[in-house]
């Protein structure tokens, strides 16, 4: 059984970027990574990665403030309430940002080369991966034994 209050990302991946918490994509994944890193079980996952930073910019919350709040042991629902108190975003803004964040891709040539290296590094010929959400889901699945 997966313990989301203290995830072990050496044994399983964090939740998908696509999992919404209070309408926010990526928040559940960010919480999994932060909790695992705090517990020394982050594996290859990093807190405050570029996708985490997109969330922080959108909400106006700093990575240090978020980490300090997570350290208090709050549940997902309690962290969500804390985020909503600080972010002051209307529901339609959260929906729009989440739709965008779920579809954002590598952008320029360097980003595409990096994404291609992840796909090739997993020994796959997949050509349907377009967004970071696609790439993370693919990499998480493959990294824990799934077939590319």
**Residue ranges of the chain with per-residue pLDDT less than 70:** 1, 146-148
CA dihedral (129, 94, 47, 56) in degrees, to 10, reads 120
**∠ Cα 37 43 46 (to 5°):** 55
What is the reported pLDDT for 147? Answer: 65
What is the reported pLDDT for 73? Answer: 94
CB atoms within 10 A of CB 37: 19
What is the reported pLDDT for 56? Answer: 98
Question: Is the CB of residue 63 less than 8 Å from the CB of residue 56?
Answer: yes
Separation CA 78–CA 85 (nearest Å):
11
What is the reported pLDDT for 114? Answer: 80
What is the reported pLDDT for 16? Answer: 95
CA dihedral (42, 44, 45, 48) in degrees, to 10, reads 100
What is the reported pLDDT for 6? Answer: 81
What is the reported pLDDT for 142? Answer: 80
What is the reported pLDDT for 148? Answer: 56
């Amino acid at each position: 059984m997966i313990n989301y209050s203290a995830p072990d990302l050496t044994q399983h991946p964090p939740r998908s970027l696509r999992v919404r918490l209070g309408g926010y994509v990526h928040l559940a994944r960010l919480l999994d990574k932060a909790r695992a890193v705090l517990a020394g079980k982050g594996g290859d996952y990093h807190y405050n990665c570029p996708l985490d930073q997109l969330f922080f910019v959108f909400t106006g919350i700093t990575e240090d403030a978020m980490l300090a709040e997570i350290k208090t042991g709050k549940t997902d629902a309690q962290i969500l309430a804390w985020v909503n108190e600080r972010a002051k975003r209307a529901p339609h803004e959260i929906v729009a940002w989440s739709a965008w964040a779920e579809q954002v891709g590598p952008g320029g040539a360097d980003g595409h080369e990096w994404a291609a290296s992840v796909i090739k590094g997993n020994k796959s010929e997949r050509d349907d991966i377009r967004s970071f959400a696609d790439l993370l889901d693919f990499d998480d699945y493959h990294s824990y034994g799934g077939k590319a």
